[in-house]
Amino acid sequence: MTAQGGDILAYLEHAISEAEQFGLLLRTSADRKLIALHGGNMHSCPATDETGYLDEWTQFGHDDACPVIQLLAEGYGWTEGER
């Protein structure tokens, strides 16, 4: 490998590191927006009922987490046992 090839690899490693950090910022920013939209008490959003039917206006009351919030939490390590 030439010195130039080594420079390219070093550049790519640095660029990928920065892109990962920037991507993480974008992802967490989007997640916060979803939490703001779906995290409040007494709201409705599309969800399936107990039979699996899509009920487009499922009402979520106090201490209920809609499926969007549950799925977001799973991405951050939340497990069924913590619910």
Q: Nearest-CA neighbor of 39 among 64, 8, 16? A: 64
Mean pLDDT, all residues of the chain: 79
**pLDDT score at 2:** 45
Q: Which residues pair with 45 in a beta bridge?
A: 58
pTM of the predicted structure, to 2 decimals: 0.65
Q: Which residue has the tokens 């046992």?
A: 81
Q: Where are the domains of the chain?
A: 3-82
Alpha helices (H) along 1-83: 3-38, 67-75
Asked whether 53 and 33 are in contact (CB, 8 A), the reply is no
pLDDT greater at residue 63 or residue 1: 63
Q: For residue range 30-81, what is the model confidence (pLDDT) as tens digits?
A: 999 988 888 877 777 777 777 888 777 777 777 777 888 888 898 888 887 6
Q: For residue range 29-40, what is the model confidence (pLDDT) as tens digits?
A: 999 998 888 887
